[in-house]
Structure 1
């Protein structure tokens, strides 16, 4: 039906605001323009029967046109259903093959021969050998080994517990609904009805025992119990160290795990051994166990023990030192991070990875919060000596992002009163102009004539915009303007409302724009850019190492051909963006990249960088803009695209 290239094209066309050029689509898929033309043709053939088509816009590219919403939606549903249940699934990209092999080996009862695996997915033996290196690295993260035995083949060895964690990550493609955790590639054999039953048991028990669990945590538990049931039938068991066991049995979560297991045993007629119950209790420990009747003060006393509180304060101090976000005293954030970290520590201790389905969106929409999340992750590592991955960093970033938004609300728009000489006409003119120009920054609370001003209560007003001179002293500042607001008037008001906020274009400098370069790798780009910035005296000596350190924690490639590399902590005396665009995309971690934006923030900066982050966010989200920026040959063309 749809191969992975066609899916990529369809996904891009569905989210694009304007037409996408063939060249852009070719770069995203890393194929030639000719292949892309053929792909678009095939895609169009399929779409025509399903309520849509790909329209070719002269000189601009391709655009998706949907004629029949209902039948197009049906078509999309069928793609995803087919993907999940297609027995003839053949992985195409290296990443798909690696995922396939992990699932295949995890489920294998004995040894698997290399040649058989290669034949199964229609690739050469050398390709499989190369893929297996990646498989090995991924499995090593779960402390699972790939054992190779002459004349026998390959098999996985590792504790049952670790294999189980790995399975839950790779066996089920988890979307938003419990009904979607069905097999991919026909590899899993847990019936949907069994999954539904297990979910019902979990939901009933956590409700009866007043446990608050996030959807993600429930999904994880559901999958783990399903795998446990499957493995017990096959005669496999989890083993846990006795000391760990005792620690878990003493927790109240263990009692709830027992109840869940008893119900599962009655339903499926299997017996769960004690370590299995402890194992399910680990899952409940890895979630927020709070009685819903408590008020927040009690919750804090109950939940945030001294160690966790100290850790949260360390994190917030570290973030404040580098980012000056003004959120270190936010009570809601302290509680939120504390409640998140307490169970997380249990998860790290037992090596449980939780996949974060929102990760991509968090990185794109809250880049500043994600950077702060990385610092939080480092603080956790220093405090506890355990490494955390970017899924967890994403969750920390969500808490921080919410606090940043609260901070913005607190400072809020400035309340303004419009004063005019006479007649409502001019007042209304000023009123509407302010509304349209400063919708976020100013809340116009009313208009009044000059002679009525003394009767007005100015306690609720931050400043006055007046079209006539006001001689007397007032308790609030007055900005004097013309009745018809001109550029200078707007500039006056802007200075008053948002002092110190720079224009976005101040961050782009002509001599820091390197367009249409031919580099073959991420390493070449980083070294070239570092040399340029160093020669101009813009960055310190340790800049490149700090950029590499940041990349190791979480790659800065966001998809949509964009990467935004930057040092883990500020290493420059000014704030600026340095841009490099490439003739052909390179592979950056696991994504094609053609637009590289070096983000350098001034050390100990107190400036408001929100406008810069907003602009970067808009570029990252917008395929057509990226393709125009990549095609720009001069500074003027580049700026023209941004201004449009």
Structure 2
């Protein structure tokens, strides 16, 4: 009988006649000697219907001796062998996760290598990815000499990790917990109660129930604190969960204990993503003092880090609070949810995403788990809406336009300014240069003059040409729309002394140590600067994806804003993501600094794949300035 390794070997050789022994060994991640052993054992299984032969000085080929017998042998053994053995690193990791999560006993690395027909070194490498995945769910890959390895951790965490694997791995071949049957039970129960649930949460619920049924059949149960279960019994979701559980029990002849009903209710309670105005989601939603205080802390953090003041924005507060009620359930129970808009959110609203990423550490601290990028993306939508609303609600400005002389020319200027900048203007007043000194400027926000003024005025003055050219129009528009006309370009925040190109760092800590040491040499920073950066790393992720991380102190501690950059010779793991470019940011603690343009430029730069690839390929300061200039220009109009 052919096993999975035999079938894999036959398929490879059949598809690549005269395949080189070295190539074949690489495909199995074993030595040439092991390949010879594989060939010998496969030939024994093939018998007289076919043989694998090696040409002298050449490679391996398959010679079929009896076509009908060979076809019959393949048909009989293909399903049992080929489907059971993964052939790619990704498939092996999924297989290992499913195997280790489903077993309670120990298993050795050598046994796993034998099962998957690869070397011990390959399994050891795959297990590093397995351990990283388990860690995200609060599970540990325990190792013990002479025993082997096993997964340790709460049963609920095992289930949540299983639910994130492919459905084939979750249910297994021949599992009786049919997703179609469960879907029918859930759909009918929710329809009877007129309970709405989005598609992503619906799929998560189906998978949760399927995993629960399989684990219960293996006598693995999830405990729940009695007081917590008592609280769940009083919720409307619990009554619906009872109806779902009864239907599942009826269809699948599997008894679900009350704790399992409680966890179905938890899934229903964590069903929502971002609150949608006008939906029915508000009907039974209670925003507690705890949630309200969490929102306050988030907005305070955004103010400290970005100098955007949303602390009195009631609509943003309500949107975040409504979203956090179900989000807190997902965080407490490590429930994951996909965000199909994530890449678009990062690209279109980079500043809002940065705000969400920064404030997510408050949520992680409060509810015990870090937010995934998908969850951060949903929070970013709330901030993006607030930013856009803040732009549209900016108070209109009153301006005085000064010209050389003549009422006619003054009226012409007034008309031109109203035409170009009417969106941002309330009142336009005009006067000639001779009367500026006696003019009452109460209520005037800006003075625009076509001629030099000999005396200083108590309000900002901007000289422009009589016939406004494009440069004047853009400059005035930035002033009136709230942009700083003389805002520092992004490159001004970078210093060649704070650039570490081609840095050798073994890990994240090594990169941070080198950057913080260099910062301390150039700037006056507190002695605990490195500790403040580390504290921020512990609260929530600072990696953006795109091979980039943006660490920073947990609170602003410097009088100026600057960026230190390290380009690493090889990628390091940064909370599970690969990073090659590190931008250590320290923002000014001075409240009067406007940093919105800085954050917009940084966000565009860090999310630009072309910019980062160019910097990584040419790790020098000149390249950094070039990509800043090319990929993060300041917009002239919002």
Which of the five TM-score ranges fits, normalised by the shorter chain?
Answer: 0.5 to 0.7
- The reply on whether 1:222 has 2:217 as its aligned counterpart is no
Match of 2:535, SS state, is helix
Counterparts of 1:252-291 in structure 2 under 5 Å?
Answer: 252-287=236-271
Alpha-carbon separation, structure 2, partners of 1:628 and 1:267: 58
More displaced 10-residue stretch of structure 1: 156-165 or 563-572: 156-165
Higher-Rg member (1/2)? 2
**Alignment partner, residue 28 of structure 1:** none
Structure 1 residues 334 and 632 mapped into 2: Cα distance closer, same or farther (>3 Å)?
A: same
- The reply on whether 1:404 has 2:387 as its aligned counterpart is yes
Alpha-carbon separation, structure 1, partners of 2:252 and 2:292: 43
Kindly indicate whether the alpha-carbon contact (under 8 Å) linking 2:307 and 2:594 is maintained by their aligned counterparts in 1. Answer: no
Q: Give how far 1:373 is off.
A: 4.1
Structure 1 residues 143 and 554 mapped into 2: Cα distance closer, same or farther (>3 Å)?
A: closer
Structure 1 residues 210 and 404 mapped into 2: Cα distance closer, same or farther (>3 Å)?
A: farther
- The reply on whether 1:165 has 2:160 as its aligned counterpart is yes
**Alignment partner, residue 353 of structure 1:** 335
Q: Give how far 1:485 is off.
A: 0.9
Structure 1: 5+ residue stretches without partners: 1-84, 173-181, 436-441, 451-460, 470-476
TM-score (norm 2): 0.66
Alpha-carbon separation, structure 2, partners of 1:557 and 1:346: 25
Alpha-carbon separation, structure 2, partners of 1:105 and 1:311: 37
Match of 1:353, SS state, is coil
Structure 1 residues 463 and 445 mapped into 2: Cα distance closer, same or farther (>3 Å)?
A: same
Kindly indicate whether the alpha-carbon contact (under 8 Å) linking 2:141 and 2:152 is maintained by their aligned counterparts in 1. Answer: yes
Structure 1 residues 90 and 371 mapped into 2: Cα distance closer, same or farther (>3 Å)?
A: same
**Alignment partner, residue 23 of structure 2:** none
Alpha-carbon separation, structure 2, partners of 1:563 and 1:298: 37
**Alignment partner, residue 90 of structure 1:** 87
- The reply on whether 1:573 has 2:573 as its aligned counterpart is no
Describe the superposition over 1:143-190 as per-residue Cα deviations: whole angstroms up to 9, x where unpaired.
656567888755445554332222123x23xxxxxxxxx436995666
564, 571, 584: which is aligned to 1:598? Answer: 584
Match of 1:303, SS state, is coil
- The reply on whether 1:560 has 2:507 as its aligned counterpart is no
Match of 1:549, SS state, is helix
More displaced 10-residue stretch of structure 1: 248-257 or 315-324: 315-324
179, 182, 188: which is aligned to 1:195? Answer: 179
**Alignment partner, residue 118 of structure 1:** 113
Alpha-carbon separation, structure 2, partners of 1:159 and 1:508: 47
**Alignment partner, residue 623 of structure 1:** 609
Kindly indicate whether the alpha-carbon contact (under 8 Å) linking 2:350 and 2:600 is maintained by their aligned counterparts in 1. Answer: no
Alpha-carbon separation, structure 2, partners of 1:415 and 1:97: 67
Kindly indicate whether the alpha-carbon contact (under 8 Å) linking 1:582 and 1:594 is maintained by their aligned counterparts in 2. Answer: yes
Q: Give how far 1:123 is off.
A: 4.2
Q: Give how far 1:88 is off.
A: 4.9
Q: Give how far 1:240 is off.
A: 3.5
Q: Give how far 1:86 is off.
A: 7.2
Structure 1 residues 142 and 581 mapped into 2: Cα distance closer, same or farther (>3 Å)?
A: closer
**Alignment partner, residue 599 of structure 2:** 613
- Quote the RMSD (CA, aligned, Å): 5.0
Match of 1:643, SS state, is helix
Counterparts of 1:206-605 in structure 2 under 5 Å?
Answer: 206=190, 208-233=192-217, 236-287=220-271, 303-349=286-332, 351-357=333-339, 368-369=351-352, 372-373=355-356, 376-380=359-363, 386-391=367-372, 395-411=378-394, 443=423, 481-483=465-467, 485=469, 487=471, 490-491=474-475, 494-497=478-481, 498-499=483-484, 501-605=487-591
Structure 1 residues 325 and 297 mapped into 2: Cα distance closer, same or farther (>3 Å)?
A: farther
**Alignment partner, residue 168 of structure 2:** 183
Q: Give how far 1:534 is off.
A: 0.9
Kindly indicate whether the alpha-carbon contact (under 8 Å) linking 1:563 and 1:593 is maintained by their aligned counterparts in 2. Answer: yes
Alpha-carbon separation, structure 2, partners of 1:91 and 1:559: 24
Kindly indicate whether the alpha-carbon contact (under 8 Å) linking 2:198 and 2:271 is maintained by their aligned counterparts in 1. Answer: yes
Match of 1:509, SS state, is strand
Kindly indicate whether the alpha-carbon contact (under 8 Å) linking 1:159 and 1:239 is maintained by their aligned counterparts in 2. Answer: no
Q: Give how far 1:269 is off.
A: 4.7
Alpha-carbon separation, structure 1, partners of 2:616 and 2:275: 54
Structure 1 residues 110 and 586 mapped into 2: Cα distance closer, same or farther (>3 Å)?
A: closer
Q: Give how far 1:363 is off.
A: 6.3
Alpha-carbon separation, structure 1, partners of 2:197 and 2:445: 43
Higher relative contact order structure (alpha carbons within 8 Å, sequence separation ≥ 6): 1
Q: Give how far 1:227 is off.
A: 1.6
Q: Give how far 1:602 is off.
A: 0.6
Q: Give how far 1:609 is off.
A: 2.4
- The reply on whether 1:104 has 2:84 as its aligned counterpart is no
TM-score (norm 1): 0.65
Structure 1 residues 531 and 201 mapped into 2: Cα distance closer, same or farther (>3 Å)?
A: same
More displaced 10-residue stretch of structure 1: 362-371 or 269-278: 362-371
Kindly indicate whether the alpha-carbon contact (under 8 Å) linking 1:356 and 1:394 is maintained by their aligned counterparts in 2. Answer: no
Kindly indicate whether the alpha-carbon contact (under 8 Å) linking 1:481 and 1:489 is maintained by their aligned counterparts in 2. Answer: no
Alpha-carbon separation, structure 2, partners of 1:342 and 1:521: 37
Structure 1 residues 89 and 610 mapped into 2: Cα distance closer, same or farther (>3 Å)?
A: farther
Alpha-carbon separation, structure 1, partners of 2:278 and 2:611: 50
Structure 1 residues 628 and 150 mapped into 2: Cα distance closer, same or farther (>3 Å)?
A: closer
Q: Give how far 1:502 is off.
A: 2.7
Match of 1:411, SS state, is coil
